[in-house]
Amino acid sequence: MSKEIKSAAEFDAAIKEGNVVVDFFAVWCNPCQHLGGVIEEVEPNYKNVKFIKVDVDQLPELAARFSVESIPNVFFFKDGKEVSSFLGFRYKSEFESFVKKAFNIA
């Protein structure tokens, strides 16, 4: 299950190394909840990828840092550098395509 980030410092530490998927969401957002379900289903298939989530209402400074104005908004980081992103809900197959492409997974 994706770890929910509670501070900017925790976020910075989480994305520093490796492959990281960041789900910016809100608890009141229905598409966010559906995407969260897709992420939970896909997550076990990618042992070398860390999945985290950021509640934009709890950490508005992180949402502002990444210009998140609409949700769900997903970012892909490799060793602290943003390599890809998408906005809106995605079905499982499309979400997996984003993960594979962002991190060069066959």
Give the residue numbers marked as catalytic: 29, 32
Contact 31, 24 (CB under 8 A): no
Element (H, E) at 55: strand 49-55
**Euclidean distance between CA atoms 64 and 105, whole angstroms:** 30
**Euclidean distance between CA atoms 12 and 34, whole angstroms:** 26
Contact 60, 91 (CB under 8 A): no
79 Cα distance to chain centroid: 14
